[in-house]
Every structure is written in C-alpha cells, then in structure tokens.
Amino acid sequence: MTGRVGIGMLGCGTVGTAVLRLLDEHGEDVLRRAGRPLEVIRVAVRDLSLDRDVALRVERFTDDPFEVVTSEDVHVVVELMGGIEPARSAILEALRLGKRVVTANKELLATHGPELFEAAAATGAGLHFEAAVAGGIPLIRPLIESLPGERLTRLLGIVNGTTNFVLTRMTEDGSAFDDALAEARRLGYAERDPSDDLDGFDAAAKCAILASMAFDTRVVLEDVYREGIAGVSPEDIEFARRLGYVVKPLAVAELEGGEVAARVHPAMVPEDHPLAAVREAFNAVFVSGPNVGELMFYGRGAGGAPTAVAVVGDLVTAARLAAEGRPGVAFPSERRRGIRPMERMESQYYLLLDVADRPGVLAQVAGAFGKHRVSIRSVWQEGRGDEALLVLITHRANEGDLRRTVEDLRSLDVVVEVRSVMRVEGEE
Ligand SMILES: NC(=O)c1ccc[n+]([C@@H]2O[C@H](COP(=O)([O-])OP(=O)(O)OC[C@H]3O[C@@H](n4cnc5c(N)ncnc54)[C@H](OP(=O)(O)O)[C@@H]3O)[C@@H](O)[C@H]2O)c1
C-alpha cells in the first residue's frame, strides 16, 4: 500500500467522537507512528440528522455500515457501534475482504470471539480489541505480546466501574444500594438500564476475553460463572469492615490442572490487599504466574476519552501493519481447554447466620461444617435478644462442599436463617 490509510468507522457515539477528536488533535504523532497519514473516509451512524460536533464533513456520514465496510478506500474498519448485529456481520465482511478491524465490542467478542478470530486468521487480516476490556488500561496487548514467556495461572481483577462505584459508596458513606446507583447515574458511570453491569454480564464478558488471552484458549461468556451485586447488603459491608475486609466486584480466572475456572461475583478482599484500594469507577487487574510473580494493571476502565486512547493505539498498529502488508497479530489458539464447573472451585467463604441464642448452638453449626470438610477459620457472635448473629469465615474450601454445608445449616432447628454467603478472595 502507498499513500494514506483509509479508515472506516462504524459508530460515532461516546467513544467514536472521542476517537475522531484524538485523531484530529494528535494527527502528527499518529502519522509518525503509523508511518502513513490516516484519513477517516466514511462513518456509519444510525441517525444522520444529529450534530456530532466533530471535524468531519457531513458527506462522510452514512447510515449503512456495509457501505463503509465495502468502500474501496477503507483499509481499516473501526467498529464502535456495540451490540451483536449488525456489528458481527459487518466485522465478518470486513475480515473476509482482508481489511483490518479494530473493535471495542466486548459483548460481541465474548459471545462470537472464536468465529471472529477464525475469520481474521483465514485472511490474516487482523482483529484488534484493546478497548474491549478495561477501557484505557493496556491489558490485551501485554497479555498477547509481552507475556508469552509466562504460563499465567491466575487473574484477579475489578473490571466493571459501575459496580465498583456502587460498592465504594456503600462502603465509604454507608449509602443504600439505590442511592449509590442514583449517584453513579448522575456522574455518568451507570447507563440508564444498568442491568448488564449490576447482574455481572459486562464483567463476565470481559472475564471471558481476559481468560482467553491469559491462558491461550477460547473461553466464552457461558463458561463464566456469574453473580451480580444486588444481593450485597449494608450488613455484609459492615461486617466486612469489622473483620478487616472490603467488598469488591471481582472477576477471577484460574488455570489449574489444564482446566480454566472463570467467575465474576462480589467478594470480600482483605483491606490491605491492593484491590481494596481500587475505588470509585477505577478498574484493576492482577495477573500472576510462577516466573513473573504478580503484575497489576490499574486505571480508568471506561469513558469516551480513555477508551478512545486504546482504540487509537490499535488503529495505529493496524494502519502500520496494513501499510507494511504484514499479517495481523496472533490470537489464542483454537484450543478449548476444559472448563472447571463451579462446584469444583475453591475459595474462602464468609457466612452470616441468624441462630438461636442458647447453649450447644455453636457445636451444631460446627458439626454441619465438619461433616462436609469445610474448616472454620474464625467465628464472631453478637447476641440480639433470644437470637444471635453468627459470622464465620472459612479456610479455603470446595464450593460444592460449602453449598452442601449451607443446605445442612438451613435444615438445623437452631439456625433461623442463613442471611448471607460471600466468597473471600486474596487471602490464603
Ligand atoms: N462508553 C464507554 O465508556 C466504553 C468503554 C469501553 C468499551 N465501550 C464499547 O464501545 C462501543 C461503543 O460504545 P459507545 O459508548 O460509544 O456507544 P454509543 O455512544 O451508544 O455509540 C454507538 C454509536 O453507534 C451507532 N450505531 C448503533 N447502531 C448502529 C447501526 N445499526 N448502524 C449504524 N450506526 C449505528 C450510533 O449511532 P447514533 O449516534 O446515530 O445513535 C452511535 O453513533 C461498545 O461496544 C461499547 O461496549 C464503550
């Protein structure tokens, strides 16, 4: 290829407009690093009548994503529409035509990643997606390009800013869940419909992508166990504080015995753990392996400007590779490692029980734990009239054993209610 690299953009919303602004403001740096001038040739949007406040002539806009993809002058396609269709078909068409693709679409990658990777590999076109996970934090490229010398075994992170913000407000101000969520909305950290974030779908999609990159395999959304944060009560947060923990929305992925275990759920982490200091809408990811030890990536996981920085980084790489006629970066192999079912995963656990306040209760409760080989690490009791609150933290235990213990506890006369069960991570 000679001359400029033609860019076709699909979507010009929060991230798309920020990308156009960065390209405009940093044109010379981008030119130097890409080795060729980049020119945005076509941009697809849904509503052509909207004023987008970007330095691009209106004739460049269209409402047909496929017109952008098939335009001869477009060499690199940047997909920033979100959702599955038409994003999936447009990306597949671009890859089929041998065009490089940059996308920030975690939902699409987590559900159709293998299909897209195969299409990219078939033509050597290249698919770049740094912005799809943790916005402005460089994470995908280090996992793919900097760490092939390591066999990573664990990834522990906070990858959703909305839920981290809500739990931070509940922890630091004692806010009720709804008030914390309303504040997140006011500050632009939560969507009008925040269910994707609160129910853990957003974090699970990112966890699937990260686990695929970290363990060189193909993990999809359904492989990731998922729990949202709606069940976290102010009481859990208060007990966490008293016991020296902080409640965080975690994504955990592990490789053990050739199997991948991936899950997202709220969990208690020790207050001196680095993830406890990741507050508000910030994200952080810890990866570890036997040689490199622990690495932590920290920063703004969302927002138009940080995400646009990641998109422009990919765009420069894609444009350089296109200009040099080189194939795109390699992805996780086609290998599908086994997925470890939740029943066989291990964690520590916090349990909050309402029990009768009379002699012999502790022995019966301890008996249920002992029967299923779940070892209790600490117990804390608070009398409340005829009843008492019992807070227990276990040693590391098998999830299946813990679930059976909880079933047995529920059947005990002395246990009025199992009020809460939460995993504890980052300690043993
Ligand atoms: N926002 C963030 O902080 C963030 C962070 C990381 C990753 N991402 C990802 O980045 C992507 C874009 O997010 P965003 O926040 O920029 O979304 P957004 O503000 O909703 O923008 C989406 C853009 O796509 C256009 N669009 C949607 N469907 C279309 C269709 N069928 N045909 C043509 N154009 C269409 C929209 O057109 P109109 O403007 O006419 O409606 C809009 O310009 C998503 O995959 C998201 O998950 C976002």
> pLDDT per position in the chain (428 positions), as tens?
668 899 999 999 999 999 999 999 998 888 889 888 999 999 999 999 998 888 899 999 999 999 999 999 999 999 999 999 999 999 999 999 999 999 999 999 999 998 999 999 888 889 999 999 998 999 999 999 899 899 999 999 999 999 999 999 999 999 999 999 999 999 888 888 899 999 999 999 999 999 999 999 989 999 999 999 999 999 999 999 999 999 999 999 999 999 999 999 999 999 999 999 999 999 999 999 999 999 999 999 888 999 999 999 999 999 998 888 887 776 766 778 999 999 999 999 999 999 999 899 999 999 999 999 999 999 999 888 889 999 999 999 999 999 999 999 999 999 999 999 999 999 87
- CB of 237 within 6 A of ligand 1: the answer is no
What phi, psi does 128 have (nearest 5°)?
A: -115, 135
What phi, psi does 99 have (nearest 5°)?
A: -90, 145
Tell which one of 10, 15, 60, 111 to mutate to probe ligand 1, the residue whose CB is within 8 A of the most ligand atoms: 15
Atom of ligand 1 nearest to the CA of 15: 16
Q: Looking at residue 380, what is its pLDDT? A: 93
**425 and 348 Cβ atoms separated by less than 8 Å:** yes
Q: Looking at residue 330, what is its pLDDT? A: 62
Bridge partners of 310, per DSSP, are: none
Q: Looking at residue 192, what is its pLDDT? A: 80
206 is annotated as an active-site residue:
yes
Tell me which H or E stretch contains 404.
helix 399-411
- CB of 302 within 6 A of ligand 1: the answer is yes
- CB of 69 within 6 A of ligand 1: the answer is no
Centre of ligand 1 from the C-alpha of residue 291, in Å:
40
CA gap 269, 247 in Å, rounded: 6
Residues 6+ apart with CB under 8 A from 271: 244, 245, 246
Centre of ligand 1 from the C-alpha of residue 92, in Å:
18
Q: Other CB atoms closer than 10 Å to residue 299's CB: what's the count? A: 17
Question: Would the CA dihedral through 131, 203, 173, 393 be positive or negative?
Answer: negative
